[in-house]
Amino acid sequence: MDLAENILLTQVGPGTPMGGLLRRHWMPIAGATEFGETDRIKPIRLMGEDLVLYKDLSGTFGLVQKECAHRRADLSYGFVEKCGIRCNYHGWAYDQTGQCVEMPFEDTVVPQAKYKDKICITAYPVKLHAGLVWAYLGPLPAPELPDWELFNFTNGFRQIVVSQIPCNWLQCQENSIDPVHFEWMHTNWSRRLVDITSEHGPKHLQVAFDSFEYGLVYRRQREDLPEDHTMWTVGRVCLWPNCFFLGDHFEWRVPVDDENTLSISWFYARVPREQEPYVQREIPTWHGPVVDPATGRWINTHVLNQDFIAWCGQGKIADRSREKLGLGDRGIQMLRRQLHDDLQAIERGEDPKGVIRDPSRARNIPLPNSERTYLAEGDTFAGIQAHRAFGAHLVRFVFQAGQPKAVWDQYCTAMGIVGAEIVSDDKVISI
Ligand code: FES
Ligand SMILES: [Fe+2]
């Protein structure tokens, strides 16, 4: 890849081609439970734009530009009203469409002027779904918000984890179509972190990549798995354009700007049959640290933290003009080609891959899911314990470091885990 192409695929600001492509999709930007009675306003930077996300006193979410239209004060220090957000400097107020609805001094002195009607700030549509706050920053009309099937599975304990990663979004997303790294980064490296003399884990023998309506799929054959294993017959999904779907969870890589990415993950754990029916009242959201304060180095103990190390290690914006692709990278090449196809579709005035316009097609969308049977139908506690992957989840949260104890406790209650020994978070998870 030459430098010009690397710039084309990584720049996300307003007016850039890739920024335009990504803006044509709904993006998860926060967990709804991050907003409580007192925590109602949050500054947020998305695709190079400084914005403010708020929940007003009626419970409506709004996403507006950071600067007040009046004299540019920071609206993230404003306060919410029954309808919308008010600037703390002179009290101008805006509703969720960005329309100025109150200009207290001007309204008092010359109410007939209706000056406020002429003032509107940038605002983007926001929706709540599956406990996530979603935003759409693209041209209107907005497409449908995809309702993935896993969001509707019952009897599950769900949690949302948010972290800011200091590198470009594309190197994070390329990780979603990279099966071989599991063997090295998550298995062999994890084992060696625990025991420097440990044996390597099972090898990949074959990988395959396919394209489907909502993304790409990778499949793997590993020497320890039978040929009819679902990792080979079904595989995992590089969900278009910036998500990784692994059967029991989603990982979105939402661009903050060219050099930062919001990692937003949504996890579903099916409770054992003995615990059914289980209804979760609300989905907890927590922020995962990425740096170990004791050493100043990246945390390396959990699956996603290990990925963060790979992504950030590639540089703020990976220089693809200096890489040497191997045979395991065919999926990466497919991903990049698809991005080019999408850019051309937009130039022709068409929707890029994965954009859904028909509301009836946006509901309960199934995705290839190698673990679908267990996640949809459940299993006994003993059955989960014996499961190759899910058994480990009963002992600790394996995906990201920093889970608050309160969330682990809620999970244990939901799963019917009694007297679980707390495993220290700084122990490497060996898989
Ligand atoms: S700067 Fe916001 S009301 Fe004056
Ligand atoms: Fe990974």
* Helix/strand/coil percent split, the chain, to 5: 30, 25, 45
**Could you read off the pLDDT of 363-382 as tens digits, one per residue?**
999 999 999 999 999 999 99
Radius of gyration of the chain (CA): 23
Whether the Cβ atoms of residue 58 and residue 81 lie closer than 8 Å to each other: no
User: Ligand 2 being an ion, which residues bring their Cβ within 5 A of it?
Assistant: 307
- Token couple for 43: 């500054």
Q: Do domains 30-129 and 143-415 have the same CATH topology?
A: no
Q: What does the alpha-carbon distance between residue 266 and residue 280 come to, in Å, rounded to a whole number? A: 14
Whether the Cβ atoms of residue 167 and residue 315 lie closer than 8 Å to each other: yes
State in Å: Cα 181 to ligand 1 middle: 51
Q: Ligand 1 atom closest to Cα of 73?
A: 1
- Token couple for 50: 């400084």
The answer as to CATH 3.90.380 being correct for domain 143-415 is yes
Q: What is the mean pLDDT of the chain?
A: 96
> Going by C-beta distance under 8 Å and a sequence separation of 6 or more, which residues neighbour residue 142?
26, 125, 136
Residue 276 has pLDDT above 80, yes or no: yes
* Closest protein CA for atom 1 of ligand 1: 71
**Could you read off the pLDDT of 1-26 as tens digits, one per residue?**
999 999 999 999 999 999 999 999 99
> Going by C-beta distance under 8 Å and a sequence separation of 6 or more, which residues neighbour residue 249?
265, 266, 267, 268, 399
- Token couple for 36: 């409580």
Residue 99 has pLDDT above 80, yes or no: yes
Q: Where are the domains of the chain?
A: 30-129, 143-415
* Closest protein CA for atom 4 of ligand 1: 90
**Could you read off the pLDDT of 79-95 as tens digits, one per residue?**
999 999 999 999 999 99
State in Å: Cα 320 to ligand 2 middle: 20
Q: Ligand 1 atom closest to Cα of 87?
A: 2
* Most ligand 1 atoms within 8 A of CB, residue of 68, 81, 94, 102 to mutate: 68
* Most ligand 1 atoms within 8 A of CB, residue of 89, 103, 106 to mutate: 89
Find the residues whose C-beta lies inside 6 A of ligand 1. 68, 70-71, 73, 87, 89-92
Ligand having the closest approach to the CA of 187: 2
Residue 29 has pLDDT above 80, yes or no: yes
User: What CATH number has the domain spanning 30-129?
Assistant: 2.102.10.10
In this prediction, residue 422 carries a pLDDT of 67
In this prediction, residue 138 carries a pLDDT of 98
In this prediction, residue 396 carries a pLDDT of 92
